[in-house]
Chain A
Amino acid sequence: MKFENSKPIGNDVDASKVVVDAASASESTAAPPKTVKVTEHIIEIVSDSGEGAQTCGQLFSTVSARMRNGLWTVEIIPAEIEPPARSQAGASGNRIRIGTDPVTNAGDQADLVVAFNEQVLHGRIDVDALRPGTLIFLESCWSEDAQEDVRRAYADAVDRFQQLGFEVCETPMQRECLKLTEDPRRGKNMWALGLLCALYQRDMQIVREEITKRFAKKGDKVLTLNLDLVEAGYRWGLENTKLRFEIPVGPPREAQAVMNGNQAVGLGIMAAGMEMCAMYPITPATSASHYLAADFCKVGGFVHQAEDEIAAIGFSLGASYAGKTAVTITSGPGLALKTEFIGLAVMAEIPLVIVVVQRGGPATGLPTKIEQGDLLASLFAAPGDAPKIVIAPADVEECFHFMITARKLAEQFRGPVIVLSDANLATGQQVFPRPHPREEWLASAPEQSPWQTEVPPYDWEPQTGISARPIPGQKGGEYVVTGLAHDRQSHVAYESAINQQAMQMRSRKLAVLQKSLRPPQVHGAPEGDLLVVGWGSTFGSIQEAVDRVRKSGGKVSSLHLRFLSPLEPGIEDIFQRFNKVMTIEINYSDDLGAPFIDRESRRYSQLAQILRSRTLVDVDCWSRVPGSPLRPGQIESVILQRLGL
């Protein structure tokens, strides 16, 4: 069963019909609420940092996932832990896109927003997160604030919002919360959750279960208060609003899991049977280690917090060398510091998994925000030629499964594997089929049987460069790992022929892997006017944009790459079937036509550079560094413009 897209819904909703004055609540019972069926909705909940909008959003997401809605969430995060209250840049919260079908990205503008003050809302409007008709439930306590400037700012904002075409529903959150708690700043989020549950007809039994799961550890008092606040918000919503949204769901399906990308990375590490993760705190990667630190010991693993990024990879490399493949987790600045060790892992051929959760760069850049700026650094940042495997998950499910793949690749091809995630995947929650761990996913115990002494430590198979490695404890396998140029015996060798051969063998492994991969699947028709190529977390947005343009007759398709080194096979053949090829990425490139920028001076986005050099096709690019996920609407207009439509 298909429903109309949700887009026009807000437009025909009159705010005055949605929220009625509490005093005339009795009237609302007379007229039954209007139920609107939608296939999907985008909801934002924003507050000052520390007011718990994120907790509210996460709970609402989990409840929706349990009710079988498709789900994608994005965290709205300020750079500071507790920025000044009521500041535009201080918005903290969640964007939640729920739907009938699986959801692959965070979408365009929000349909409904719950805001704890008007200032955080200004910030969201400035980044174009709202559209005319967006329904806003705005905390109204500021209209009675003791300070005149606050009262005025609030009144001005409400005027501005109405002028911009938003439907503003002034909502007495604080007044209602004060009936239950003396500190509404800490309870408002649960009340708002209740309100959302009323609007979206959530199953309150599930809501209560999730709240209990979340707060049981904090004691009965906190738990009871939170349950009461949700109930109060829910009741208030039922009694005072006249609008209900219905997002139908399909029949029961196989068991699903809901988590964010960093949790998926952590669980993937556990499911891969890795047992050592050495890390150094860095946003936005650290929460993966937080998750591991809590659960790793249950599967016999350990998180070592090292003294710096270099020590973290050194420690992991040492653990890998002496036993099971280990992992280190970092972000761009940490990757920069780790490059010498990555080169050593390549040179010494020691398996290692390196997770890079990308953020905005260069230098400290945008620590909490997304960018896909570390692709070239992953491929090339090491002294000399250091061929290594680089893969990029496209969604949260792949964040889980790629950890198992990465470990196996690291062992099979005896070297480091970089997994490129990003801030969008790291904090975004998604629903996907629950994995069922299998024994073959787990790393086997380190080999300790005697090593055949006649087999050298680098017994490069002449065709493939692949060899097995002796592990300390294997009698007869004693050898000295060195970062110096070495021969098959790992003896230091400065002879030109040996160096040439060793480089060839280390490089050959990537070609062997490349030959074992399948060509990537084109999304859309196999030929056409334009092919859009992407990688990483832009997957869903690109596909949605392509689908929209195709629906309106545009001959566009997309291709999403998971393997960046080596590149998947058959790409050149695919490119030949399209008039134009372009990449869409979240990293920097010059726009043709900008001052001084022409074909000769233009710097291309990162995947475009790789594809141009690999295929000799004149691959174009469109890339932006907004610090937020690309919206399908943005991509759609770029495609239309490139197609000349």
Chain B
Amino acid sequence: MYGLKTDWDAEFHQPVCQLQDYCSAMPRWCPGCGDHSVLTAVQRLARDEQLPPEKTVVVSGIGCASRFPHYMKTYGFHGLHGRALPLACGIKSRRPDLKVFVVTGDGDCCAIGMGHWMHALRYNFDLTVLLLDNSIYGLTKGQTSPTTNRGAVSATHPQGSFFVPLNPISLALGVSNISFVAQTVDWNPLHVDATIRAAHEHQGTSFVRIFQRCPHYTKEVFAQPQRDPSQILFMTHPQGITIDDKAMRIFTNRVEHDPSDLHEAREIAENQDRFPIGLFYRNSSAHIYDIDTRVGLGMSPADKLTALEAALDRFSV
């Protein structure tokens, strides 16, 4: 948020942060890993929005994607497997001034962290949640994840996975008080940028699933839609996620979808023939839990002592 504001007032964050001000260590992800493109997109967003590094916290669990905070020159919390969301919710609960990103993977979020994921969506803290879904456990070397395709061969299912993959979008859209659900593909940087920006601008928990290639274990899993964009169903709407017309030209399969239409969003999500990308759903008036949890923030010690005396009086004899 820098430059001129709508009332012509100017606001600058001093000093202006360059891209490298958000770049920490050289990422250690494999060459060709989709994580790189998401990292760059978040760093670009931070630069464009001039997010103060000291007021930005990137929280993750465990997995390849969860190395993310180490490569951001902000505050970061590389937590426990599956537990990024409780940490992020706790961080946000008493710190409305912090911008909190959560980076998670398909194992971290949809398997071990499933319970927290559903409930965090319902709580609706003001968080930007990025699910980097490569449909495999990478860090532990190639086991079946909840989003692995049926029949796909992995270290734990050498004869092929038994299970129909879990649909994270359908699940998210089934959570009460859900406020933002979008999907994008790591190989289209323009769309990734636009999606993450929309997620950042949304007040509430914005859940973004990013189809993300693993060059090591799931090289082929998104090869078809990458080579043939007609396999992607591109959701368009003035209120949705928009990219410029030229960039949109490659997506020949489009559907006009109003992101306030939850029912239609669920129908699109259920359609397994195509890879839908864009904004499924946004409800800016969903209840935000932050408003409740920050009650009493900044109460003065004098007021506290007065209230404490009154509380103790009730037990005094």
A484 interface contact, C-beta 8 A:
yes
B260-312 contacts to A (CB < 8 Å): 292-299, 301, 303-305, 307-312
Contact assessment for B95 and A310 in the assembled complex, using a CB-CB cutoff below 8 Å: no
Contact assessment for A267 and B312 in the assembled complex, using a CB-CB cutoff below 8 Å: yes
B234 interface contact, C-beta 8 A:
no
Given known pairs A255-B316, A270-B311, A437-B312, the reply for A299 and B304 (CB within 8 Å) is: yes
Q: Which residues of the partner chain B approach A480 to less than 8 Å between Cβ atoms?
A: 24, 69-70, 72, 75-78
Partner of A318, one of B90, B296, B305: B90
Q: Which residues of the partner chain B approach A476 to less than 8 Å between Cβ atoms?
A: 54
B229 interface contact, C-beta 8 A:
no
| A400 to B, closest residue via Cβ | B312
Complex Cα spacing A476 to B53, Å: 9
Complex Cα spacing A276 to B192, Å: 36
B44 interface contact, C-beta 8 A:
no
A59 interface contact, C-beta 8 A:
no
Partner of A323, one of B77, B79, B94, B316: B94
Contact assessment for B93 and A481 in the assembled complex, using a CB-CB cutoff below 8 Å: no
Given known pairs A435-B312, A473-B54, A483-B80, the reply for A302 and B91 (CB within 8 Å) is: no
| A256 to B, closest residue via Cβ | B317
B97 interface contact, C-beta 8 A:
yes
Number of A-B contacts (CB under 8 A): 197
A436-477 contacts to B (CB < 8 Å): 436-439, 442, 445, 470, 472-477
Smallest beta-carbon distance A392→chain B, Å: 22
Q: Which residues of the partner chain B approach A473 to less than 8 Å between Cβ atoms?
A: 54-55, 95, 97-98
Q: Which residues of the partner chain A approach B118 to less than 8 Å between Cβ atoms?
A: 307
Contact assessment for A318 and B93 in the assembled complex, using a CB-CB cutoff below 8 Å: yes
Contact assessment for B95 and A322 in the assembled complex, using a CB-CB cutoff below 8 Å: yes
Contact assessment for A276 and B83 in the assembled complex, using a CB-CB cutoff below 8 Å: no
Complex Cα spacing A78 to B170, Å: 44
B45 interface contact, C-beta 8 A:
no
Q: Which residues of the partner chain B approach A311 to less than 8 Å between Cβ atoms?
A: 83, 85-86, 115-116, 119
B202 interface contact, C-beta 8 A:
no
Given known pairs A307-B119, A323-B95, the reply for A317 and B312 (CB within 8 Å) is: no
B8 interface contact, C-beta 8 A:
no
Smallest beta-carbon distance A446→chain B, Å: 8
Complex Cα spacing A255 to B315, Å: 11
Annotate A474-508 by CB proximity to B: 1 below 8 A, 0 otherwise: 11111111111000000110000000000000000
Given known pairs A472-B54, A478-B75, the reply for A314 and B90 (CB within 8 Å) is: yes
Q: Which residues of the partner chain A approach B24 to less than 8 Å between Cβ atoms?
A: 480
| B296 to A, closest residue via Cβ | A300
A193 interface contact, C-beta 8 A:
no
Partner of A62, one of B116, B296, B311, B317: B317
Q: Which residues of the partner chain A approach B310 to less than 8 Å between Cβ atoms?
A: 298
B57 interface contact, C-beta 8 A:
yes
B74 interface contact, C-beta 8 A:
yes
- Top 8 A-B residue pairs of the complex, sorted by shortest distance between their CB atoms: A318-B90, A300-B296, A314-B86, A300-B299, A480-B76, A315-B90, A307-B119, A318-B87
A interface residue numbers (CB < 8 A to B): 62, 65-66, 255-259, 263, 267, 270-271, 273, 275-276, 278, 295, 297-302, 304, 306-308, 310-324, 326, 340-341, 344, 431, 434-439, 442, 445, 470, 472-484, 491-492
